Chain A
């Protein structure tokens, strides 16, 4: 399992963008977001404007999934690319944690400083319930965190 944790840590630190899935009325919607993961791997941060569709959807349904992968757009990807799905719930970070988490986010994405610090921007935190790691096309491993509601 330590190996799995390390693999998850590696791919999350190698990549900087992921595909965030939100949904409303049972219909999924995906967006590309910059993320950063906390040391314990159980929390992921991303930023979005409060006027975006994904933010509106999050208000309606907090359940999300974030896909991070190592593809390079080559045939080899089918065997060599690693894909990681994080499943959990997202919410805007509480104000008392905002400064600390913003620092963490900007350390990884310093070029987003103007955006993240602007009043219209929401810094959001995904509380991860489960990671699902796919490699060599069909090998799938999962890591569960304690979760109040089981992930699907």
Chain B
């Protein structure tokens, strides 16, 4: 008896082995619906793969790195990427490869195929988690097809799935993934249908695009949409998306192509719309629950690609916001344009305009009004930051996944090296600081002093504070120009055949833009925040100078406000128990390297001026305006976790080790503590407390050990 089964042989009892999607499609086949010819690879194959390769143990190690409830979305993505790379770099054992290949040979001729996840519990009657796992469309060649199976398995541990780990009961021991292999249907038009509209229980809704349904699902093509009355089946509304492109198969990939002249106007005509409507209502009757189905038209026939019960997500569940961060290449290009041509210039224009206002000349009432308007401006641009700039960071992830899929490096974050070295504004500002420091040390004149004053204002420091820092900048570290980056770039370019290079280049470019903008847009926003703070400081000055009850009342109200961009607190880490102390902490590796030095905890901008060259910078979160201090640091420890946080991006540019995701870093660590940090593994050690029963290790000898290790 073969383990890998054609769809038509699966019964409802096969669900635990073959997953909800496969079993639902099998039911559709039995009921006479048209579905693609399909083969189901059971969970047993996934389980055997983990067992035979030792991957289960490595998954356990990865998942045990840190308490999930304390992870930010960036950290979940990092974890998911590391896990995905484990699957990419762990080949199938020969016996499993032969078993799957033989079944595929028996069932399909040499043809492009589609690979879909079918996890038990994913699409059950009580819970449906659409979009957690990955599908791969138009996969050609047996090697790529076998790799696609591992990629579907890896998506059991996608960042979205990790977000819903509790509902899914996700554990290495008990979670498995079946895979549905389907013939590729190049539909002329495709879409989704909800028998119950998410926003109106009296209606159903249809969305449709030209070409492959993947374009709609991944958000790269805006769909036409219809709302239909469920009782009368009459159309209530239609929205024309005016799309200009469709997703179509090209080689072994899919690609956005312009619509043909015959593909203008509504995607579905009236009779096609009626067929889709009748079909989704029939599905609801057959499955006794509202259904969400995907379909495509082939040769005048409606083919169902999948169906699952609709579940409503509670409004208070903000995890859907994370789903929204997954953007297509086309969408990212739109975002890039908007950020570069509208958002950043917009923020800066407003900030420059506000900087011209002589706040000291304003009467109290006008100052209050000015301050309120500034707050409104800040809120408006913070919203733009949230809606466009944060999702733009997905460009880094898109490139990372593409790079790892294509080149399968041992280090899942090798791709970051290819994104580095662009003209980050923070680096440009740091170069400016260094040049100014050199000129000042060589001889101060009035123009240099004016520049120092201006830079101090830009960095929210007093001129004297900046001067103290500038003295340390005179022989400061330069950003590293990496030889490995050039080698990787050559390897990347030569990896792709000529026909595939344009797409590879496009994805690299969006990755680089995303990497650069992730830091640059913060600097623009910081200019605006500085203007808000300037007006707040002026109000405080007047309160100190005299009796100003109106200003005091406003400032008191502000005292309780939190910035919309603040990171969630992870709870109280201020232990009252003085006998308890940390000796070693595990976070996330964010920039490689080892360092042993004294810690300097930065709690506010005022602390920055005390920073001494060679100290380890410890903070809750490196604010983009703080990154000028990074070149002076021997290393960085930060509460916020992830490879893509600002501190990590700048640290990598300067080749400084960084450990992120240390919960309560600024509370556990004190200025003056001797630390050893390991940016390869994400570890922070307190050597002094390691030596309670014997003299503490001398810093320089430990440093030597670590240096020797690095040289090996």
> Which chain B residues border A95 with CB–CB below 8 Å?
712
A9 located at the interface, meaning its Cβ lies under 8 Å from any Cβ of chain B in the complex: no
Closest B residue by C-beta to A122: B709
Evaluate whether A60 and B685 lie within 8 angstroms (CB atoms) in the complex, with A50-B709, A110-B54, A111-B60 already known: no
Is there an interface contact between A51 and B676, defined as CB atoms closer than 8 Å?
A: yes
Is there an interface contact between B702 and A51, defined as CB atoms closer than 8 Å?
A: yes
Is there an interface contact between B693 and A51, defined as CB atoms closer than 8 Å?
A: no
> Which chain B residues border A51 with CB–CB below 8 Å?
584, 596, 676, 678, 683, 685, 687, 690, 702, 706
The one of A25, A60, A113, A120 that contacts B706, using a Cβ cutoff of 8 Å: A120
CB distance from B708 to the nearest CB of A (A): 9
Is there an interface contact between A111 and B709, defined as CB atoms closer than 8 Å?
A: no
Closest A residue by C-beta to B711: A119
A29 located at the interface, meaning its Cβ lies under 8 Å from any Cβ of chain B in the complex: yes
Is there an interface contact between A25 and B693, defined as CB atoms closer than 8 Å?
A: yes
> Which chain A residues border B596 with CB–CB below 8 Å?
51
The one of B676, B681, B690 that contacts A118, using a Cβ cutoff of 8 Å: B681
Is there an interface contact between A110 and B683, defined as CB atoms closer than 8 Å?
A: no
Give the docked Cα–Cα distance between A57 and B693 (Å): 10
The one of A24, A27, A120 that contacts B681, using a Cβ cutoff of 8 Å: A120
> Which chain B residues border A29 with CB–CB below 8 Å?
693
CB distance from A55 to the nearest CB of B (A): 8
A76 located at the interface, meaning its Cβ lies under 8 Å from any Cβ of chain B in the complex: no
> Which chain A residues border B706 with CB–CB below 8 Å?
50-51, 119-120
Give the docked Cα–Cα distance between A24 and B691 (Å): 9
Evaluate whether A50 and B690 lie within 8 angstroms (CB atoms) in the complex, with A95-B712, A118-B678, A119-B594 already known: no
Q: How many B residues are at the interface, by size bracket? A: 20 to 34
> Which chain B residues border A110 with CB–CB below 8 Å?
54, 57-58
A10 located at the interface, meaning its Cβ lies under 8 Å from any Cβ of chain B in the complex: no
CB distance from B701 to the nearest CB of A (A): 9
Is there an interface contact between A25 and B61, defined as CB atoms closer than 8 Å?
A: no
A40 located at the interface, meaning its Cβ lies under 8 Å from any Cβ of chain B in the complex: no
> Which chain B residues border A114 with CB–CB below 8 Å?
681
B537 located at the interface, meaning its Cβ lies under 8 Å from any Cβ of chain A in the complex: no
CB distance from B82 to the nearest CB of A (A): 9
CB distance from A58 to the nearest CB of B (A): 11
Chain A positions 15-61 with a Cβ under 8 Å from a chain B Cβ: 24-25, 27, 29, 49-53, 56-57, 60
Is there an interface contact between A49 and B685, defined as CB atoms closer than 8 Å?
A: yes
Give the docked Cα–Cα distance between A118 and B685 (Å): 16
Closest A residue by C-beta to B689: A53
* B659-698 to A contact mask, C-beta < 8 Å, 1/0: 0000000000000000010101101010100110110010
Is there an interface contact between B710 and A57, defined as CB atoms closer than 8 Å?
A: no
A112 located at the interface, meaning its Cβ lies under 8 Å from any Cβ of chain B in the complex: yes
Is there an interface contact between A111 and B54, defined as CB atoms closer than 8 Å?
A: yes
> Which chain A residues border B676 with CB–CB below 8 Å?
51
Is there an interface contact between A111 and B584, defined as CB atoms closer than 8 Å?
A: no
CB distance from A102 to the nearest CB of B (A): 12
Give the docked Cα–Cα distance between A99 and B681 (Å): 20
The one of A53, A115, A120, A122 that contacts B690, using a Cβ cutoff of 8 Å: A53
> Which chain B residues border A24 with CB–CB below 8 Å?
693-694
B583 located at the interface, meaning its Cβ lies under 8 Å from any Cβ of chain A in the complex: yes
The one of A27, A111, A115, A119 that contacts B712, using a Cβ cutoff of 8 Å: A119
Closest B residue by C-beta to A115: B681
| Secondary structure of the A contact surface, majority rule | mixed
Give the docked Cα–Cα distance between A95 and B690 (Å): 27
CB distance from B66 to the nearest CB of A (A): 15
Give the docked Cα–Cα distance between A49 and B596 (Å): 14
Is there an interface contact between A111 and B678, defined as CB atoms closer than 8 Å?
A: no
Give the docked Cα–Cα distance between A51 and B691 (Å): 11
CB distance from B682 to the nearest CB of A (A): 10
Is there an interface contact between A27 and B693, defined as CB atoms closer than 8 Å?
A: yes
> Which chain A residues border B60 with CB–CB below 8 Å?
111
CB distance from A19 to the nearest CB of B (A): 18
B605 located at the interface, meaning its Cβ lies under 8 Å from any Cβ of chain A in the complex: no
A27, A29, A120, most chain B CB atoms within 10 A? A120
> Which chain A residues border B709 with CB–CB below 8 Å?
50, 119-120, 122
CB distance from A62 to the nearest CB of B (A): 15
Give the docked Cα–Cα distance between A60 and B687 (Å): 15
B705 located at the interface, meaning its Cβ lies under 8 Å from any Cβ of chain A in the complex: yes
Evaluate whether A52 and B685 lie within 8 angstroms (CB atoms) in the complex, with A120-B594, A120-B709 already known: yes
Is there an interface contact between B678 and A56, defined as CB atoms closer than 8 Å?
A: no
* B81-110 to A contact mask, C-beta < 8 Å, 1/0: 000000000000000000000000000000
CB distance from A100 to the nearest CB of B (A): 15
The one of A25, A49, A57 that contacts B678, using a Cβ cutoff of 8 Å: A49
The one of A52, A53, A60, A119 that contacts B710, using a Cβ cutoff of 8 Å: A119
Give the docked Cα–Cα distance between A24 and B60 (Å): 34
CB distance from A104 to the nearest CB of B (A): 15
CB-defined A-B contacts under 8 Å, sample of 7: A49-B683, A51-B683, A52-B690, A111-B60, A114-B681, A118-B681, A119-B594
In the A-B complex, list the 8 residue pairs whose CB atoms are closest, starting with the nearest.
Answer: A24-B694, A111-B57, A51-B685, A53-B690, A51-B676, A118-B680, A111-B58, A110-B54
Further pairs besides A52-B685, A56-B690: 19, Cβ < 8 Å: A25-B693, A27-B693, A27-B694, A50-B702, A50-B705, A51-B584, A51-B683, A53-B583, A56-B687, A56-B694, A57-B694, A60-B694, A95-B712, A118-B680, A118-B681, A119-B594, A119-B712, A120-B706, A121-B681
